[in-house]
Amino acid sequence: MKIETRVALTRRGELRIRQIEAIPVVVPLLQPIKWARGEIKDIDNVIVVVTLSDGTQGIADAPPRPTIYGETQQSITTIIRDHFAPKLKGVDAFDLTGVWAVFDQYAGNPAAKSAIDMAVFDAQAKHLGITCAELLGGTPKALPVNRRLMLGSNKEMLAEAEQMIKRHGFRAWKVKCGIDKKRDIALLRALRKLVGDEHEITIDCNQGYSSQDLLETAPYFEEVNVALIEEPIPARDGAGKRFCAERSRVPISGDDSCMTPDDVLHELKLGAIRALVIKCARTGYTRSRQVLALAQSFYTPAHNGTQADMQIGCVAAAHFASTYTTPHAHEFSSFIDAKDHVANEAPVIKNGCLQLPPGLGIGMTLDPRKMKKYRIDL
């Protein structure tokens, strides 16, 4: 039976949203994660659980980004509990337009909205007896992923790269830069020498450079065959980004400047970016599809990223990434930074590829013992 037919039959039964829960958790990291604009020592996310009228449950992970999106663990929990949950109770579980109509009554809150969106999709897929990738039009598959090398000494970052090659077979790297130009150049040269010519290297400056900084360093990045430069200068400096994009042979990639489909369209029309990072954690499945369609209409390559996502968030994003092709590795390795996890199932990174757990929806369920251990009261 075709997916469209299954959905049509389900809609006649008026499957509805019964309950939405927002559960804040704090899971310790193996070590602090540092980048040009901040540092975190724990994963303080919110687990979202959507229960449908037939008892089917979908789950998602909402990671706060207070310095970028203005969301905190407290704000995500509060907006869901006090506003989204009561307003969405009783809504048709297959009416995502209606769900987003409620969301659009409130400014901001991208992680909260996106987590509910993805949890609804997860519940839909489980109810239909298929995977989220299939519901979105793709097929679950192993995906090449990169390893983020977070800010530290060059020696520490190179040692981590060696360790990650041995443990997981990584063949792609996303290097955090943006604080010291000379240090960045030296690190990238050393990394290229270490991994050889076949590995993909992208860099993420987290808006740490000026336009002049980028123009000075871009030739050195080209020298070591950097594939992408992500958010090199302040995200809202459209003119500066276009100026740099026109002069850098290494493509500029949009991330924090591309929070909504409207942002993406603006950046593409401006000529400020030549590649794009899609983050389901900020656009859900619904608006990630819109973002991907815009990128494809401008013949702009896209790949999926994550933001302190736990296993649930990485796997959910990987189901979306299974619906399209890209020349770049995805960013689904953040979950290996955590000391523990709250799901029963576990994805695996082997030979540089993320192996998805089998099962319906995103193939993951919550471990009650772990949820009790890491849950906090807000």
Active-site amino acid positions: 176, 204, 230, 255, 279, 307
State how far the Cα of 202 lies from the Cα of 229, in Å rounded to an integer. 6
Asked whether 267 and 254 are in contact (CB, 8 A), the reply is: yes
State how far the Cα of 64 lies from the Cα of 154, in Å rounded to an integer. 28
State how far the Cα of 378 lies from the Cα of 104, in Å rounded to an integer. 25
Q: In what order do the strands lie in the sheet with 46-52?
A: 17-24, 46-52, 57-62
Q: Is 365 helix (H, G, I), strand (E, B) or coil?
A: coil
Centre a 10 Å sphere on the Cβ of residue 9 and count the other Cβ atoms it contains: 11
State how far the Cα of 361 lies from the Cα of 363, in Å rounded to an integer. 5
- Token pair 């930074």 in the structure block, residue: 337
Beta strands, E only, 165-317: 172-176, 200-204, 226-230, 252-254, 275-278, 302-304
Nearest Cα to Cα of residue 110 among 265, 235, 254, 260: 260
